[in-house]
Amino acid sequence: MNRRSFKGYAYLAPVLVIMLVFTAYPLVKAIFMSFCENYSIINGSYKGINLENYKDLFDDKLFIRALGNTTLYVAFVVPLSVVISLIIANLLNSHIKFQGLFQTLYFLPYVTSVIAIGVVWRWIMNSNYGLLNYILGFFGIGPIGWLSDPKYSMTSLIIFAVWKSLAFNIMIFLAALQGISPDLYAAARVDSTPRLRVFFKITVPAMMPIIAYAFIMGIINAFKVYNEVFSLFNSKAGPVNNEAITIVYYIYDQFYNNYKYGIAAAGSVVLFLLIMLFTMIQRLPGRIKAKKEAAQK
Amino acid sequence: MKMKRFMALAMATVMGASLLTACGGSGGTTSTTTAAATEAATTAAAETTAAASGETAAETTAAAAEKTIEPTTITFWHGMNNKQEQSLTELTEKFNAENEYGITVELVNQGSYSDLQTKLMANAAADTLPDIAQAYNNYFTDYVDKVVALDDFVANDYPDWDDILESYRTENSEYGKITGVPFNKSTYLFFYNKTMFDELGLEAPKTWDDLQHIGEVILEKKGLAAIGYDSMCDMLEAALRQHGEQYVDETGALFNTAGGLETLEFIMNMYNSGYARLVGEDNYFSDSLSNGMIGGYVGSSTGVSYISTDIEGKEFELGVCPVVGDKTNAAYNAGTNIVMFAKDENNQKAAWEYMKFMTSKESTIKWAMDTGYLPVRTSAYESDEYQQFMAGDITAQAAYEQAPYGFVSKASFTGSNEIRNVVSTTLNELITEKADAQTALDTLVAEINDVLQ
């Protein structure tokens, strides 16, 4: 190690130490815990090192449901949120009146506590006195037990989560939109290109990297969903019997309510592997493209 | 390129890792702060003890009966809010001002019960528990060895332990040692819309048959459910006991019997016929009752403050009565105890002074009158002051009426907390599916035994 790189590491040392203590150590510890049968968080004792926790985990129908729900959640929330935010960001970027006001309004959910938003949505979705059912009533629909009927639990959760995640996506998309060169649009105007064509041929391709980023971040975050469930169903995971349970909710429940630390750790390891797998898959297209380009050169 | 790929992978790893640590995260931060606080407190205490040890050592033999407690600060973690917290603060300030040993009790609000429970657990793991805390027995099934046994204190230095209501004494001795003193105690009562009952010629129920009759009439005349239960697992245990059956212990479900089936027949019939309903999205029935959307419900005596009888156009008179029995009477008692974790001997003694003070006749009366919780002493119930208060408070009257047959659910075994959750959710599901009694019984027994296997 030469002098210069030593200096570099010295600068990095504080953050490295913090990451080692608060990220790397718990990570290793959690992986270790997941292999300990009957692990006790109180005194660190365990019965043996084996795969018992993983066996229990996959034998638990609640965990299987959590896996299914989380997959469903990721599959709907992320694409819906990206598409809707893309449309809204474009509308906000066109020269409308009160642009600043709208931008603030759309960004509000991002800076508001999920718990507070959950309280509001619980009222909106209340089957007896909720706003949503009131509006649907004009169209002769309902009343629907959004939060009381187990059939609708996941639907309600997804609607809530899409709305909640719009804000962040809109913000980054707006920033990306403003980075697109106006010359491109000017050229399109000269050719009197239809607006839809402009959107798909200029706007979307120019925004591709940021859309990909929104997808990756969205999927990682969606896999870790917990707050949304907790706040929408008022500290439960569904109206009757955990209909909207997600992986993280399951982990929390096992750890803090059922005192099954090993199983909770095994659940987090499974989730970790899932997220890693999805992130790797998502990066594949980019990597293939890069290889192709390299080959062409 | 390589570097970029590594960075991406590293980023994903960190993201995943931050999730893995999320569980311990909140606990971690609290433990560091409390660790520092406790350390400071113990050092301070140690110093004073060291300074005074010369004289005390000589005196202990001479005056064994006389207590020596060095001035110290005791930390008390609680989950009381609003007027309950206010009353707790008043009592504690009184103790701090009046005790002769220079003990200061510092109250630390930990939020809700579930916050308190998780923080206690995290701090038990980090070995940084507070001196005393509010706790249910099922909080510490995993770390009961960290709870100070109070048997000696009770035997040598407690005025009239037998004056404490029997169900509370039993609860606090469940682990084979005395683990706490009863503190904020409540009981489940039947709250009902008296105006509606009068209009339909109904009276407060006294038996299961009465409940069924009330259910039939209200459903027929009003199209409403007559009864709801805020807590499903407590409802089941109370019903089983009322029918002379047992519920659960560490060996598993005890109600796989003819009587258990009869109990579930009664329960499932109430729900399947529409006489009773689940709470749904409201969480507590107090809102439903306030809005005239249910005839009555069984809920905690402290929940009465959440019932509004004066919503415009929906005004009604509130009725309260003891929960009904069947073969026998059984009323579910809830509420936490104060338990001690202090390790330092001086702090233990100091904490005990506070625990004695909080459960004294005088304090428990004030506490009950301020908050709507129940006195923990028979003598407090019988005092003129409380009797006077009770005369103007129908909830307190009903609670007093059923005090002799109150019970507390057994919680001193691993899995007790999980069973509470499993029984509630399973019952919810069975009721939603309109299951028959036999299916309900089999499913519940299987789910409970599955937890304990």
Per-residue model confidence (pLDDT) at position A295: 76
Report how far apart the first and last C-alpha atoms of chain A are (Å, whole number): 35
Residue A106 — pLDDT band, cuts 50, 70, 90?
confident
Section A97-107 average pLDDT: 81
Task: Report the alpha-carbon distance of residue B294 to residue B224 in Å, rounded.
Answer: 6
Q: Do B17 and A220 touch (CB under 8 A)?
A: no
The answer as to whether B271 is a domain residue is yes
Contacts 24+ apart (CB under 8 A), B388-394: B394/B318, B394/B319, B394/B320
If you write DSSP's letter for every residue of chain A in order, what string do you get?
--HHHHHHHHHHHHHHHHHIIIIIHHHHHHHHHHTEET--TTT---SEESSHHHHHHHH-HHHHHHHHHHHHHHHHHHHHHHHHHHHHHHHHHS--TTHHHHHHHHHHHHHS-HHHHHHHHHHHT-TTT-HHHHHHHHTT-----TTTSGGGHHHHHHHHHHHHHHHHHHHHHHHHHHHS-HHHHHHHHHTT--HHHHIIIIIHHHHHHHHHHHHHHHHHHHHT--HHHHHHTTSSSSSSSSTT--HHHHHHIIIIIS--HHHHHHHHHHHHHHHHHHHHHHHHHHHHHHHHHHHH-
Least confident span in A78-92, A173-187, A273-287, B20-34: B20-34
Number of other residues whose CB lies within 10 A of the CB of residue B416 = 21
Inform me whether the C-beta atom of residue B305 falls under 8 Å from chain A C-beta atoms.
no
For A284, nearest residue in chain B (alpha carbons): B5
Tell me the sheet residues that pair with B187: B333
Number of other residues whose CB lies within 10 A of the CB of residue A76 = 18
The answer as to whether B229 is a domain residue is yes
CA distance A111 to chain B (A): 21
The answer as to whether B135 is a domain residue is no
Nearest to B124 among A42, A240, A256 (CB): A42
Q: Do B280 and A145 touch (CB under 8 A)?
A: yes
Task: Check pLDDT > 70 for residue B41.
Answer: no
Section A249-254 average pLDDT: 94
The answer as to whether B61 is a domain residue is no
Q: Do B12 and A42 touch (CB under 8 A)?
A: no
Inform me whether the C-beta atom of residue B26 falls under 8 Å from chain A C-beta atoms.
no
Contacts B418 to A, Cβ<8 Å: 257-260
Per-residue model confidence (pLDDT) at position A2: 67
> Which candidate, A58, A68, A70, A67, places its Cα nearest to that of A263?
A58
Overall fold of domain A72-245: MetI-like fold (1.10.3720)
Inform me whether the C-beta atom of residue A295 falls under 8 Å from chain B C-beta atoms.
no
The answer as to whether B348 is a domain residue is no
For residues A63 and B45, which has the higher predicted lDDT (pLDDT)?
A63
Q: Which residue of A259, A279, A280 to mutate against B (max B Cβ within 10 Å)?
A: A259
Task: Report the alpha-carbon distance of residue B427 to residue B419 in Å, rounded.
Answer: 12
The two three-digit tokens of residue A61, written as one number: 């129908």
CA atoms within 13 A on the CB side of B29: 5
Q: How many CB pairs (< 8 A) connect A and B? A: 112
Per-residue model confidence (pLDDT) at position A33: 94
Inform me whether the C-beta atom of residue B98 falls under 8 Å from chain A C-beta atoms.
no
> Which candidate, B409, B427, B132, places its Cα nearest to that of B272?
B427
Task: Report the alpha-carbon distance of residue B359 to residue B338 in Å, rounded.
Answer: 10
Domain count, chain B: 1
Section A116-133 average pLDDT: 88
Q: Do B23 and A264 touch (CB under 8 A)?
A: yes
For residue B426, what is the domain's CATH number? 3.40.190.10
Q: Which residue of B5, B6, B23 to mutate against A (max A Cβ within 10 Å)?
A: B23
Calculate the CA A123 to chain-centre distance: 24
CA distance B124 to chain A (A): 6
Residue B14 — pLDDT band, cuts 50, 70, 90?
very low
Task: Check pLDDT > 70 for residue B399.
Answer: yes
Which sequence spans correspond to the domains of chain A? 72-245
Calculate the CA A126 to chain-centre distance: 25
For A281, nearest residue in chain B (alpha carbons): B9
Per-residue model confidence (pLDDT) at position B34: 40
Q: Which residue of A45, A230, A256 to mutate against B (max B Cβ within 10 Å)?
A: A256
If you write DSSP's letter for every residue of A32-93 in order, what string do you get?
HHHTEET--TTT---SEESSHHHHHHHH-HHHHHHHHHHHHHHHHHHHHHHHHHHHHHHHHH
One-letter identity of residue B68: T
3-state secondary structure chain B: CHHHHHHHHHHHHHHHHHHHHHHHHHHHHHHHHHHHHHHHHHHHHHHHHHHHHHHHHHHHHHCCCCCCCCCEEEEEEECCCHHHHHHHHHHHHHHHHHCCCCEEEEEEECCCHHHHHHHHHHHHHCCCCCCEEEECHHHCCCCHHHCCCCHHHHHHCCCCHHHECHHHHHHHCCCCCCCEEEEEEEEEEEEEEHHHHHHCCCCCCCEHHHHHHHHHHHHHHHCCCCEEECCHHHHHHHHHHHCCCCCEECCEECCCCHHHHHHHHHHHHHHHCCCECCCHHHCCHHHHHHCCCCCEEEEEHHHHHHCCCCCCCCCCCEEEEECCECCCCCEEEEEEEEEECCCCHHHHHHHHHHHHHHCCHHHHHHHHHHHCCECCEHHHHHCHHHHHHHHCCHHHHHHHHHHHHEECCCCCCCCHHHHHHHHHHHHHHHHHCCCCHHHHHHHHHHHHHHHHC
Section A117-129 average pLDDT: 88
Q: Do A30 and B125 touch (CB under 8 A)?
A: no
Q: Do B20 and A30 touch (CB under 8 A)?
A: yes
Nearest to B281 among A126, A256, A258 (CB): A126
Per-residue model confidence (pLDDT) at position B66: 62
CA distance A277 to chain B (A): 10
Contacts B8 to A, Cβ<8 Å: 279, 283
Task: Report the alpha-carbon distance of residue B106 to residue B93 in Å, rounded.
Answer: 9
Q: Convert the pLDDT of each residue in B64-91 to its tens digit.
A: 456 789 999 999 999 999 889 999 999 9
One-letter identity of residue B52: A
Q: Do A240 and B432 touch (CB under 8 A)?
A: yes
Inform me whether the C-beta atom of residue B284 falls under 8 Å from chain A C-beta atoms.
no
CA distance B118 to chain A (A): 6
Task: Check pLDDT > 90 for residue A7.
Answer: no
Inform me whether the C-beta atom of residue B414 falls under 8 Å from chain A C-beta atoms.
yes
Q: Do A23 and B281 touch (CB under 8 A)?
A: no
Task: Check pLDDT > 70 for residue B33.
Answer: no
**Distances from the Cα of B88 to the Cαs of B91, B123, B266, B368, B371, in angstroms?**
5, 23, 41, 11, 9
3-state secondary structure A210-226: HHHHHHHHHHHHHHCCC
Contacts A224 to B, Cβ<8 Å: 19
Inform me whether the C-beta atom of residue B170 falls under 8 Å from chain A C-beta atoms.
no
Tell me the residues of chain A between 136 and 195 that have a Cβ less than 8 Å away from chain B: 145, 147-148, 150
Nearest to A290 among B1, B12, B415 (CB): B1
Task: Report the alpha-carbon distance of residue A139 to residue B218 in Å, rounded.
Answer: 32
> Which candidate, B415, B364, B278, B356, places its Cα nearest to that of B88?
B364
Contacts A41 to B, Cβ<8 Å: 121, 125, 142
CA atoms within 13 A on the CB side of B54: 2
For B288, nearest residue in chain A (alpha carbons): A128
Q: Residue B327's domain spans which residues?
A: 187-334+401-452
Nearest to B8 among A128, A248, A283 (CB): A283
Calculate the CA A93 to chain-centre distance: 25
The two three-digit tokens of residue A126, written as one number: 């209340």
One-letter identity of residue B445: V
Q: Do A42 and B432 touch (CB under 8 A)?
A: no
Number of other residues whose CB lies within 10 A of the CB of residue B298 = 24
Q: Convert the pLDDT of each residue in B253-262 to its tens digit.
A: 999 999 999 9
Q: Do A276 and B432 touch (CB under 8 A)?
A: no
Nearest to A268 among B19, B414, B426 (CB): B19
CA distance A102 to chain B (A): 32
Contacts B29 to A, Cβ<8 Å: none
Section A277-297 average pLDDT: 80
Residue B100 — pLDDT band, cuts 50, 70, 90?
very high
Report pTM: 0.83
> Which candidate, B275, B322, B317, places its Cα nearest to that of B298?
B322
The two three-digit tokens of residue B339, written as one number: 């338990």
**Distances from the Cα of B24 to the Cαs of A40, A219, B17, B222, B377, in angstroms?**
14, 23, 12, 51, 40
Mean pLDDT of chain A: 89
- Asked whether the CA dihedral B300, B302, B305, B306 is positive or negative, the reply is negative
Q: Do B16 and A276 touch (CB under 8 A)?
A: yes
The set of residues, in sequence order, having a beta carbon less than 8 Å from that of B259 and lying 6+ positions away, is B240, B243, B244, B245
Per-residue model confidence (pLDDT) at position B385: 94
Q: Do B20 and A272 touch (CB under 8 A)?
A: yes
Q: Do A257 and B12 touch (CB under 8 A)?
A: no
Inform me whether the C-beta atom of residue A257 falls under 8 Å from chain B C-beta atoms.
yes
Helix A25-34 and helix A261-296: axis angle, to 10°?
A: 120
The answer as to whether B206 is a domain residue is yes
Q: Convert the pLDDT of each residue in A204-236 to its tens digit.
A: 899 998 999 999 899 999 999 999 999 998 888
CA distance A272 to chain B (A): 5
For B23, nearest residue in chain A (alpha carbons): A252
Q: State residue B203 phi and psi, 5-degree precision.
A: -120, 165
One-letter identity of residue A78: V
Inform me whether the C-beta atom of residue B433 falls under 8 Å from chain A C-beta atoms.
no
The set of residues, in sequence order, having a beta carbon less than 8 Å from that of A258 and lying 6+ positions away, is B415, B417, B418, B421
For residues A264 and A93, which has the higher predicted lDDT (pLDDT)?
A264
